[in-house]
Each structure stands twice: as structure tokens, then as C-alpha cells.
Amino acid sequence: MQYNPVELIIKKRDGMVLTESEISFFIAAYLKDQIPEYQMAAFLMCFYFQGALPEEISALTKSYIESGERLHFDQGLLVADKHSTGGVGDKISLMLAPIAAALGLYVPMISGRGLGHTGGTLDKLEAIPGFNTQYSMEDFKALVLKHGYALVGQSAAMVPADKRIYALRDVTATVESPALITASIMSKKIAEGAKYLVIDLKIGSGAFMPNLRRAKELAGHLIATGESFGQKVKVVFSNMNSPLGHAVGNALESIEAIEYLKGNYLKDTYEITTALVAQMLIMAGKARDFASAEAMIRRVVEDGSALAKFAEIISAQKGNPHVIEDYSLFDQARYQLPILATSTGYVHEIDSRAIGYALVRVKAGRMQTSDALDYSAGAMLYPKIGDQIKAGDQIGILHCNDQAQGETVVNMIRDAYQIAESPKEHEKLIYEII
């Protein structure tokens, strides 16, 4: 069907419901350069203001998927994946994927890069010398079938509509639309062939979602869209007020993930990783409840099989597996600057977003996709909200190669911790699972 693009923009602008045929036309014509960028920008802004019904989001997701290639796995394979909406110190994928694979799930994980205050799994993987994340669809599938999982970036052939539209959203202030976020996330997770999907929907100072109400709106869209494609979706609403674990920064986080797979759990990463993998196991019918799932998960960590799976994929994806035993093979920062508390009391709040942005200054993160990273840069940060600290305590260590910037960042990170005399309770890590 041919439509007049202006009439479709008017229809969406005026709050009417677009048909699947209209949405499919608009996206396909845009990708063929028959609809110019400015009309797509206007169209996206109408989605921002008017939202969209489940059937419109499904149609959008479908048109995204149809813009590229799609992976298909045999019916019998338990293909599962996780998506995180992004946070500070979020290295969960690095533990979750090998654990799930060690338990017999197939995990075709497509990850992204860090931007702004949040890190990205691809960058953490590439901190491992030699690790390759760029594979064709066929090679990606072959890796998953052989090793039970693979950790790759989005290839040009997969959901090109999302890649192009995301770039436009980024420069037209249309990123923060639940409808558009849903189509962007779900198109990739459906195109990669996952039958079971768990979503870590993060809420708080280090996340994109400011509150549970907004997060639930998005979760509703994600679940409905997955279901319309026959995918089972569970959403874990998790607390992103304190950075996750201790490490924030690419090499530091990879090392923390390896330590985890050696059985050296941290309280928060343990709780989140276990909750997410458990949902995958339960959806896939591998575990009947959380308790049995947790026991299975502990077993593959503690018998070394998850770590072996990680070593296996590092080798398969051309990385140096010796990093697992020898952390000096990671890039090393020249300076390690202590971060000292200047007051005594309890941690009431942590501005995790400010920490993420501060670390961009030492190249642990980036502001633009073209910015270069310093894998060795980052910080180890110990106190969580509710912890008691004393003036002079070392609350963290900054790793960097630029001493002058480093001193600024040390102060910015210290200022991100709000300390008060009154006691403060520790916060729940998982709010709810739906």
C-alpha cells in the first residue's frame, strides 16, 4: 500500500490509531529513502507525545524485524536471553550468559556499547585482549549452537531499521518514548530467536527510569509485544540507586565478573544474577521454582563449569582466555587514586548517574559513540546506600591514566555520596517480578 506520509503524521499527531499497513509503509519507505529524515523526525515526535497502543507497537516491532535478517533455532532448543535497560556497574551479562549456558540454555546475546553514564557489555568484553564481538548472522548462530551462547554486537544485517532510527532518535529528543524503546529492544530480542526473555528493568539514580510507575508502563509494553510474537517475557524491576557490585569501568568489571564465576560473589550482583537466571530457567521449564533454580545456579558456579564456559567463549571469540588466571593481561591504569570520605555517618543517597558521567572524563565511558575508551579506567566503589562510614575511610579507588582529570573525578565521585548522621536502611535490590 502507498500512503501520503504527511497524512500518516497527522493521523498519529491527532491521536488516532495507525494500522499495521500504515506503520509498515512508513518504516519501509524511510529505509528506502523515500521518506526523508525530517518526516521521520516529526513522526517519532508524535509517538513521543501520543504514545501508542499495543497493536501499533507490535506493528512497529514487526516492521523493524522485517528490515533485516532473523535467526531461527530448532523448536527443541531452549533459547533464552536477558535484556537490561542499563545502569552503572552492570556487568550481569558476563556472569549470566555462561551460567545459563552451563545449565543447558542457548543464549544468543546481542549487546550494546556504553553511552553517557551507562556502560555497555560489548565494551567490557572488548577489554579482554583480542575479544571479537562482530560476527555475521550465520557465524553468530554457529557459535551459539556450538558453545551454548555467544556475546556479540548487533550486525548490520540484524534490524537495520532500529540502528538507523535509533541514531535519529538520539539527535531529535525522541529516545524517551516507551513505545519506541519497546520496538527497539524487542525487535532485536525477537530477531535473535529468543523464546524466553527476562528483562532487568532498572529504576533509580543510575537508571533511565525515574520511578516504578513509569517502569511498569514500559514493562507492560515489553511483555505484550513479546507475547504478540510468541515470546515469553518476565520483567524484574531492580534497584539502580547504588552502582552494582564494586567495579565501574570496563577491565575492572570484567575482572569482577571472573571473580564472581570463581565463586567470589558480592551480595548485590549475586541477588540480581540469580533472580534473572532463575526466571530464564523457570520459563524454559528447567526449574520448577526459585529455590531449585538457585541451587542449580550455585552448583555450576561452584563446580567451575560456568567459569569454564566463559573461558570457552573467550577462546571461541578470539580473546585471550589466560586473562582468567592473570589479570595483568588487562590494560593497567597508571594511577590509582584513593577516594576518601570527608564526613561520618550513613550513606543516604548515591548519585550513580553523576558517577557514570564523572568516569567519562577518564574515558571509562563515552559521550558519543565515536569517542575512544580507556579500558583500564574506572573505579572500585565500596559503600552502598545504608552503609555506615567514617571521615577518612577509603570509600573507593579511581583507576586512570590522566592524573589531573583523575583528581577532579575523585572529587566528583565523593560528592555523589550523600552522607548524613541519621541511620539509613539498606534498600531492597529487587522490587517486584512480573
Answer yes or no whether residue 40 interacts with a copy of itself by CB under 8 A.
Answer: yes
Q: Of the listed 169, 221, 286, 399, which one is catalytic? A: 169
Q: Counting every residue, how long is the chain? A: 434
In the complex, the smallest distance separating the C-beta of residue 88 from a copy of itself, rounded to whole angstroms, is 22
DSSP notation for 11-32: HHHTTPPPPHHHHHHHHHHHHT
Stretch that binds a copy of itself, among 46-54, 202-210, 216-224, 268-276 (CB under 8 A): 46-54
Give yes or no for a contact between 118 and 90, defined as CB atoms under 8 angstroms apart.
yes
In the complex, the smallest distance separating the C-beta of residue 175 from a copy of itself, rounded to whole angstroms, is 10
Give 177's contacts (C-beta < 8 A, 6+ positions apart). 44, 47, 48, 51, 169
Answer yes or no whether residue 291 interacts with a copy of itself by CB under 8 A.
Answer: no
Give yes or no for a contact between 356 and 409, defined as CB atoms under 8 angstroms apart.
no
Catalytic residue flag (residue 84): no
Q: Of the listed 82, 83, 195, 221, which one is catalytic? A: 83
> SS3 string of 148-189?
CEEEEECCCCCCHHHHHHHHHHHHCCCCCCHHHHHHHHHHHH
Answer yes or no whether residue 37 interacts with a copy of itself by CB under 8 A.
Answer: yes
Catalytic residue flag (residue 188): yes
> Sheet holding 388-389: strands in order across?
388-389, 345-350, 417-420
Q: Of the listed 113, 188, 309, 399, which one is catalytic? A: 188
Catalytic residue flag (residue 90): no
Reading the block at residue 237, the C-alpha cell is 524491576
For residues 108-120, one letter each, b for 16 or more C-beta atoms within 10 angstroms of the residue's C-beta and e for the rest, the string is bbbbbbbbebbbb
Answer yes or no whether residue 116 interacts with a copy of itself by CB under 8 A.
Answer: no
Catalytic residue flag (residue 414): no
Answer yes or no whether residue 41 interacts with a copy of itself by CB under 8 A.
Answer: yes
Answer yes or no whether residue 154 interacts with a copy of itself by CB under 8 A.
Answer: no
How many C-beta neighbours within 10 Å does residue 198 have? Answer: 27
Tell me how far apart the alpha carbons of residues 215 and 230 are, in angstroms, rounded to a whole number.
22
In the complex, the smallest distance separating the C-beta of residue 81 from a copy of itself, rounded to whole angstroms, is 31
Stretch that binds a copy of itself, among 42-50, 117-125, 282-290, 377-385 (CB under 8 A): 42-50
Catalytic residue flag (residue 169): yes
Q: Of the listed 93, 184, 187, 205, which one is catalytic? A: 184
The one-letter amino acid at 233: V
Reading the block at residue 400, the C-alpha cell is 586512570
Q: What is Dmax (Cα atoms) for the chain?
A: 69
If the CB atoms of residues 35 and 323 are measured against a copy of itself, the closer one turns out to be 35
Answer yes or no whether residue 39 interacts with a copy of itself by CB under 8 A.
Answer: yes
If the CB atoms of residues 48 and 335 are measured against a copy of itself, the closer one turns out to be 48
Tell me how far apart the alpha carbons of residues 357 and 248 are, in angstroms, rounded to a whole number.
11
Answer yes or no whether residue 46 interacts with a copy of itself by CB under 8 A.
Answer: yes
Answer yes or no whether residue 10 interacts with a copy of itself by CB under 8 A.
Answer: yes
In the complex, the smallest distance separating the C-beta of residue 7 from a copy of itself, rounded to whole angstroms, is 8
Residue of 145, 168, 224, 340 that binds a copy of itself (CB under 8 A): 168
Residue of 17, 156, 171, 434 that binds a copy of itself (CB under 8 A): 171
If the CB atoms of residues 41 and 433 are measured against a copy of itself, the closer one turns out to be 41
The count of chain residues that interact with a copy of itself, using the rule CB under 8 A, is 23
Answer yes or no whether residue 51 interacts with a copy of itself by CB under 8 A.
Answer: no
Residue of 28, 42, 142, 212 that binds a copy of itself (CB under 8 A): 42
How far is CA 348 from each of CA 204, 231, 338, 400, 417, rounded to the nearest angstrom? 13, 40, 21, 27, 8
Reading the block at residue 254, the C-alpha cell is 570484567
If the CB atoms of residues 5 and 321 are measured against a copy of itself, the closer one turns out to be 5
Name the one residue in this structure whose C-alpha cell is 555467544: 150
How many C-beta neighbours within 10 Å does residue 15 have? Answer: 10
If the CB atoms of residues 175 and 430 are measured against a copy of itself, the closer one turns out to be 175
Residues forming the active site:
83, 162, 169, 184, 188
Which residues form the interface with a copy of itself (CB under 8 A)? 5-6, 9-10, 13, 36-42, 44-46, 48-49, 168, 170-174
